[in-house]
């Protein structure tokens, strides 16, 4: 067996001589696994991913064709090759209409077996290459990193398309991690300034004493340590767009100076009185309610109204849960490309569990979780049991009460055991070390759906 080969095959046939014939034909080039019936094959595929399945139609416990949707539900990218006797040739052809890639006819011609399997491997390779090519081309699309089908996020997309051609200032508000910078970049990329600079200033990350120099630049000798002339971000962004992230972090003094830039379209470097033209579009963002800050005298009212010409409010992820499966798929593809590995798949139970979580850190938290599970899980298929306890990774700001967090962990743990046992409650109870009646009581108490 060539251990370094990346392609693996699951051979599903109840006849030992068939399994051995296929082993002899393929073991020098692929990693092989064997199953004698449908239940054994499904249990194996739930626990370990393979690239190709050689699936006999006449299995002792089921018609192999009925297993195709089950395999595809676990991993839509798996290639299935049906194995059929000559008299059942029509069944193999029909299976191709239901998702099989090809079919093999018993008795086997070894060269034909190798050719058909090689063709399936090539198809998977080409699919991967096409995906990577499309992903590269996709960088030209305005919303290529913004994913969603929810009506609220579609409103945001339409708003971006509407306001991008204008020159008005934009204020983007939303919780941390909702994608405010992505929206700002999309607006810039669809504007007449798209070929000019897009400059980001993280107002919360720059000390108050350095913010003025960061924005306006300075002249040599303007202050201690200013050993040379240095342009500010406003100057660098000339003819382009500047994105002021977390603008609520600016001091009242800096807010006044920024207001002057917006009103007069000019500014001065520190240490000089030479005016510099500010041909820039300003986009600002905040994760706080700026009107509330105005009422508290922590944000200038005149600046607020100067910024809030074209407002966009981003919904938190918990208010668009139907987008979570799309986002999961999107980030799984991104990290597969980044790591140079095949795209991992989440089982339906894992997706359902993640869709029920509140995501206090929003899309950023979801992306971080996907990166984590892609990095630490070697298998292609990520099951519920592979996920970290979400209650345990909630941010301190959104920490759940102990009872609620305990119930969330308990629910995930039981769902994981049920998934591993293919819904068999007796087996799941055995794995959990509890009586079956206790498990039934717990599933009712925690609102776990029956399998």
Distance between CA atoms of residues 356 and 407, nearest Å: 14
- Residue 175 forms part of a structural domain: yes
Report residue 442's pLDDT band, with 50, 70 and 90 as the boundaries: confident
- Residue 442 forms part of a structural domain: yes
Would you give the distance in Å from CA 279 to the centre of its chain? 36
| 337 and 219 within one domain | no
Does the model's pTM come out above 0.85? no
- Residue 2 forms part of a structural domain: no
**pLDDT for position 446:** 76
Q: Give me the mean pLDDT over the 102-125 stretch.
A: 86
Neighbours of 394 (CB within 10 A): 19
Measured between alpha carbons, how far is residue 294 from residues 287, 297, 310, 448 in Å? 14, 5, 18, 46
pLDDT tens, residue by residue, 338-386: 888 889 999 888 898 898 888 999 999 999 999 988 888 888 888 888 8
| 33 and 58 within one domain | yes
Report residue 393's pLDDT band, with 50, 70 and 90 as the boundaries: very low
pLDDT tens, residue by residue, 145-182: 688 889 999 999 999 999 999 999 999 999 999 999 99
Query: Which of 300, 315, 330 delimits the end of a domain?
Result: 315
Strand 79-85 and strand 266-268: pairing? unpaired
| 173 and 267 within one domain | yes
Interior/surface letters 191-210, b for 16+ CB within 10 angstroms, e for the rest: bebeebebbebebeebeeee
Which residues, in sequence order, are CB contacts of 139 under 8 Å at separation 6+? none
- Residue 413 forms part of a structural domain: yes
Report residue 99's pLDDT band, with 50, 70 and 90 as the boundaries: confident
Distance between CA atoms of residues 297 and 146, nearest Å: 35
Query: Which of 315, 348, 369 delimits the end of a domain?
Result: 315
**Residue 403, CB-side half-sphere exposure with 13 Å CA sphere:** 1
**Residue 349, CB-side half-sphere exposure with 13 Å CA sphere:** 25
| 329 and 289 within one domain | no
**85 pairs with which residues across the strands?**
106
Q: How many residues does the chain have?
A: 451
Neighbours of 243 (CB within 10 A): 26
Torsion of CA 423, 429, 432, 438, to 10 degrees: 120
| 157 and 111 within one domain | no
Q: Which residue range forms the structural domain that includes residue 336?
A: 318-446
| 161 and 309 within one domain | yes
Distance between CA atoms of residues 238 and 385, nearest Å: 51
Q: What is the CATH number of the domain that holds 436?
A: 1.10.8.60
pLDDT tens, residue by residue, 188-229: 999 999 988 899 999 999 988 889 888 998 877 777 777 777
Q: What is the CATH number of the domain that holds 193?
A: 3.40.50.300
Measured between alpha carbons, how far is residue 161 from residues 165, 177, 187, 198, 319 in Å? 8, 22, 7, 18, 22
| 272 and 209 within one domain | yes
Report residue 32's pLDDT band, with 50, 70 and 90 as the boundaries: very high
Phi, psi of 186 (to 5 degrees): -65, -40
- Biggest CA-to-CA distance, the chain: 93
- Residue 214 forms part of a structural domain: yes
């Amino acid at each position: 067996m060539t251990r370094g080969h990346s392609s693996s095959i699951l051979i599903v046939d109840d006849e030992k001589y068939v399994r051995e014939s296929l082993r002899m034909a393929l073991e020098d080039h692929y990693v092989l696994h064997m199953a004698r019936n449908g239940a054994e094959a499904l249990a194996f595929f739930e626990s370990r991913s393979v690239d190709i399945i050689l699936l006999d139609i006449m299995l002792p416990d089921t018609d192999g064709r009925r297993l195709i949707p089950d395999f595809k539900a676990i991993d839509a990218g798996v290639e299935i090759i049906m194995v059929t006797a000559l008299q059942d040739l029509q069944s193999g052809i029909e299976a191709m209409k239901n998702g099989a890639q090809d079919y093999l006819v018993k008795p086997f011609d070894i060269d034909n077996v190798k050719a058909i399997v090689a063709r399936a491997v090539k198809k998977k390779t080409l699919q991967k290459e096409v995906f990577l090519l499309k992903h590269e081309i996709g960088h030209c699309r305005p919303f290529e990193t913004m994913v969603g089908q929810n009506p609220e996020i579609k409103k945001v997309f339409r708003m971006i398309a509407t306001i991008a051609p204008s020159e008005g200032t934009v204020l983007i508000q939303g919780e941390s991690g909702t994608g405010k910078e992505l929206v700002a970049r999309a607006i810039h990329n669809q504007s007449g300034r798209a070929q000019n600079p897009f400059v980001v200033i993280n107002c919360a990350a720059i000390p108050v004493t350095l913010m003025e120099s960061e924005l306006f630049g300075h002249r040599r000798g303007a202050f201690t340590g200013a050993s040379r002339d240095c342009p500010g971000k406003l100057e660098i962004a000339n003819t382009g767009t500047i994105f002021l992230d977390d603008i609520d972090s600016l001091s009242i003094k800096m807010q006044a100076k920024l207001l002057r830039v917006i009103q007069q379209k000019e500014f001065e470097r520190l240490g000089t009185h030479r005016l510099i033209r500010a041909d820039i579009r300003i986009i600002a963002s905040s994760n706080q309610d700026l009107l509330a800050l105005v009422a508290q005298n922590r944000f200038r009212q005149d600046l607020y109204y100067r910024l809030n010409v074209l407002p966009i409010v981003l919904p938190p992820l918990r208010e668009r849960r139907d987008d979570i499966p799309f986002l999961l798929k999107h980030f799984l593809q991104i990290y597969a490309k980044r790591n140079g590995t095949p795209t991992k798949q989440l089982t339906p139970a894992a997706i359902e569990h993640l869709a029920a979580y509140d995501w206090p850190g929003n899309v950023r938290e979801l992306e971080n979780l996907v990166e984590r599970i892609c990095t630490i899980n070697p298998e292609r298929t990520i099951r519920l049991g592979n996920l970290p306890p979400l209650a345990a990774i909630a941010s301190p700001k959104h920490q759940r009460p102990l009872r609620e967090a305990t119930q969330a962990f308990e629910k995930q743990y039981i769902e994981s055991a049920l998934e591993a046992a293919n819904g068999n409650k007796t087996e799941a109870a055995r794995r959990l070390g509890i009586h079956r009646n206790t498990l039934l009581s717990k599933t009712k108490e925690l609102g776990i759906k029956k399998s």
